[in-house]
Every structure is written in C-alpha cells, then in structure tokens.
Structure 1
Amino acid sequence: MFVRVIMSLKIPLTIISLVFLSHSLFAEEFAVATFIRGKVSFLPAEDTSKLWKTLKVNDVIKPGDRIKTGNGSKVDFLYQETEIRIQPNTDFSLQEWNSEKKIAKAYVQNGAAWFRVNNFKKGNFEVSTPTTTAGVRGTAFGVFFEEKEQKGYTCVCEGTVNINGSDFSKGTGGAKKVGATELEKNNYKDLITKEGSTLLFKEKRREFPMLNRCLPCHKPVGWEDKSYLPDETYGK
C-alpha cells in the first residue's frame, strides 16, 4: 500500500520539482525583485491582454516588461552583483537583456532609477531617457527624467559613465532638455558628500528640482526635509 502511494505521487512530485528547477534557472538569467514598498504595477511583454499586474517579490523582469511605481512606491531588482532601484513615480521599461552576452538596455520614460552595474561588457549596459543615453560597466549612477522640465539627467556615483558620447566621472553628470542641441555638464561634488546632502544641496535644488530625487539615498546634513521617504535598502 505504501509503495502504491509513493508511485502515485511520483509524477506530481516530478512535475513540482521541474517547476521549481525551471523557475530557479529562469531567475538566474534575469534580475529578480528583491524589495518592494507600496504598490508597483507590472506589464509583462508576453501578456497579450495588456492588463497591468501587481509586481511581487521574487518576480523577474524580462525584455519588453514595463514597471510603474506610484507616489511612495519603489522596487529593487538584483541580478548577481548588478542592482536596479526604481524610485517613486517612475515609468521604467527593460528593452534588452542578454545574460550570456552581458548586454542590457533600459528606458526611463519618466521618474528616477539608480543602478550599480557589475559583470557587463564596457558600454553594453545602457539606460536612456527621451533625451539622454548612459553607457557603463562596473559603476553606479542615477538616471532621471522630469516631465515638467522635459529634461533628462544622469549623475555619476562611482566610476565613469558615458553620457551622449561624453565621459563623466564620479560627482559629475550630464543633462539635456527636449529640443536642446547641447548636453549640460553638472558638478555635484560639493552638493553631496559621504555624510549626505549639504546645505549647498538645499540651495541648489530650487534651481534643479530633480535633486530632490537624491534625498532618499543622500540624507540631509545640517538641515531637515520630511517630504521624502528614506531608501531602506541603500548601502545594503
């Protein structure tokens, strides 16, 4: 009787094992959602119904997938040592991802996303906005697009990033407005230190509202601002 029960369970158990194995192998090829705050909407590329779903921890993001975060919502993705952190009020799409060839391309239609990139070929991890394209390898950087300004920004946190054909080092960045022909060059070295956002940062954000996007990761030093939510996962 016991043997019969085991034999009857053999096929279902095999199927379950294959499902878990395929999911594990599948997850290793793409970035996996490791942290979610609030509600994050997810439009899978293969979903012909075009109905937005609620993203959950351990979901993977694949080429053609689109992510939207609302006010106060965010999601972190992890692929080996590469991190993707999508901030509140952001419309983000993954255009290309090839783990074998180490190639990835993403698009920030609006909002902000932060990246720490490792193990990708030089220049083959690209993040674009309507006005900018940043190509990197082994570095950390932020990409923003502000709809009100119609302007795209990229800031370099570590290493070197090529923005629209020009190289930028840590503490600098480039920005371009829709319709503009030249890329603006910005310097953030005195605005943000290891401790956080300085008083000069506080003054400059009136001129550059996009700087407010940096506050979740770079806390105010010597001043206060309660209008933002700290990034619980930053630095971990």
Structure 2
Amino acid sequence: MSNIQNQLSFIVISILLSVGTAVSANEYAVAGYVKGKVSLLSVGDTAKLWKIVKQNDVIKPGDTIKTGNGSKIDLVFKETEFRIQPNSSFTLKEWDPKSQVSKVYLENGAAWFKVKNFQKGKFEVTTPMATAGVRGTAFGVYYEVKEKRTYTCVCEGKVDVNGTVFSQGTGGVVDESASLEKSEYKELFEKGESGKPGKANLNFQKKMKEAPMLAKCLPCHQTSGWEAKDVLADEKYGK
C-alpha cells in the first residue's frame, strides 16, 4: 500500500472514531465537571478495575461511580444534570433518552438532580430504602447508611416518594421500616435570585442541629447570618 493510501486510511479511521465519540456524547451523560478523585467501574470491564474519571468521559448504563472525601462529579445530558456529592456511590441502571427513561441507584451518599429531558417518560432514583420518581423537576436525594434513612427534598416541581407526592419546599424521610415522614423546608431558605438557589438562613442552622443531613444542601446554598464550616462549596452553583 502506498503512503498516500496509508494516509487516506488513517484519515478515514480518525473520522469514524470522532463520529463514534460524538454519537456517544449525544446519547449518554458525560462528566461535565470533576473535582478530586472520582472512580468509575465500567459495566463492560470484565477485569472489574476501577478507573479515574476525567472531564468529558461518557457514562453508560450499568456504570458505577464512587466519590471520595472532598471529591464530586457533575454529569450532564443537554439540560439534565446529576451532581454527585462526596462519599457517594452511584450507579446508572438504565438510560434511554429516546424513550425518556432513566433509572439510577444511590447506594450511599448524596446527589442532586435537575431533570429537563424526561418529562414524558420515567425518571427514577432508588436507594436501599426508597424510590423517587419525577417529571421535569429539581430535587435532592440523600441516603445515610448508618441511619438507614433516605431523605428527599424538592427544589422545583413534584416528586413521588414511595407513592406519596411532595411539592416544592417539602420532602420525605423514609426509614428501614418503610415509614414515610413529611418535612418542610420552605422556612429554612431565603428567596433566591433568578436562576440561583436561596441562601440558608438562621432557621436552617437551628434545624441542622436536629437533622445533620441538611449539611448536604450547603454545597449549593450560601448561608445568611451564619457561617458553614468544613463544607465543600460547589464552585458552579454555590456562588
């Protein structure tokens, strides 16, 4: 084969590879932001080796992500976002944007979701204790392994937690007995500016002493009238 033919073959292969990457990026969520050490176990890796996640890596159905202390990752797909907080284990169980179906499993830790592309289908987040189903909304899910309790808070829209619907400013707490307790968050935050989360006020600080899990909200919410210590601020959303 001549040098010209070799060059043409190389160009064709490069184009095919770039097209394949573009298709994957359009079909799946990608790592839009990575902070610290984030590990991924690919569903197709028969060796079961954890690899370090880098920005723009594609996340496919069956992949599991783990974040360590002081690390986090944001997954993006068009206008839909998953923000996985430190010390969390997260598996993308199903993902089909054409049918608008997404199912994820949060084994432990915390994650925040902004759902914009699955209004006509099914978007579910499952923990060992609860399932949250949504249609076009923003909400947080937190699972505390030691407590064996799942917390859900609704920032926008509505969320169905184990068959009970919660609206903006409220949330549900599910324990190992499967009992469901309603919580109110409206009085804990100031009204946020357009496109920005409201600040956590002094009521939030007092409530956090009763429910320490509320500290998981602080990466995305500044404080008002008090200072939060030892919180990994979200550079993208917490300002």
Aligned partners of 1:122 and 1:136 also within 8 Å: no
1:28 maps to 26
The reply on whether 1:211 has 2:214 as its aligned counterpart is: yes
- The aligned residue for residue 232 of structure 1 is 235
Displacement of 1:181 in angstroms is: 3.5
1:78-130 per-position Cα deviation (integer Å, ceiling 9, x unaligned): 10110011000101111100111010000111100000001214460000111
Q: Is the 8 A contact 2:107 2:128 kept in 1?
A: yes
Partner of 1:161: helix, strand, or coil?
strand
Q: 1:98 to 1:123 in 2, by over 3 A?
A: closer
SS of residue matched to 1:167: strand
SS at match of 1:15: helix
1:39-89 CA-partner distances (Å, limit 9, x unpaired):
001000110111110011111111111000001100001101100110001
Query: Could you say if the C-alpha distance between residues 122 and 235 of structure 1 is closer, same or farther in structure 2, counting changes exceeding 3 Å?
Result: farther
Give the counterpart letter for 2:235 in structure 1: E
Distance change >3 Å, CA 122–CA 176, structure 1 → 2: farther
Residue type at the aligned position of 1:189: K
2-structure distance, mates of 1:124, 1:34: 23
2:180 pairs, out of 176, 179, 183, with: 183
Cα offset, 1:8, TM superposition? 2.7
Q: For residue 187 of structure 2, what is the amino acid of its counterpart? A: D
The 3 A distance-change label for structure 1 pair 235 and 21 is farther
Structure 2 residues without counterparts, runs of 5 or longer: 193-197
Q: Distance in 2 between matches of 1:121 and 1:212?
A: 30
**Counterpart residue number, 2:138:** 140
Distance (whole Å) between structure 1 residues aligned to residue 136 and residue 84 of structure 2: 19
Matches within 5 A, 1:60-79: 60-79=58-77
Counterpart secondary structure, 1:215 = helix
2: CA distance, partners of 1:102 / 1:162? 17
Counterparts of 1:205 and 1:109, CA distance in 2: 23
Corresponding residue for 1:198? Answer: 201
The residue number in structure 2 matching 1:38 is 36
1:85-104 equivalences under 5 Å are 85-104=83-102
Residue pair 1:40, 1:68 contacting (<8 A) in 2 also: yes
Write the mapping of 1:12-27 to structure 2, written as runs, cut at 5 A: 12-27=10-25
Matched, 1:165 2:168: no
Using structure 1 for the length normalisation, give the TM-score: 0.95
Where do 5+ consecutive residues of structure 1 fail to align? none
1:190 Cα deviation after fit? 0.5
Distance 1:235 1:228, change over 3 A: closer
Query: What is the aligned-residue identity percentage?
Result: 54
Distance in structure 2 (CA, Å) of the matches to 1:144 and 1:36: 20
Q: TM-score, normalised by structure 2?
A: 0.93
Select which of 18, 43, 52 maps to 2:50: 52
Distance 1:208 1:122 in 2: 35
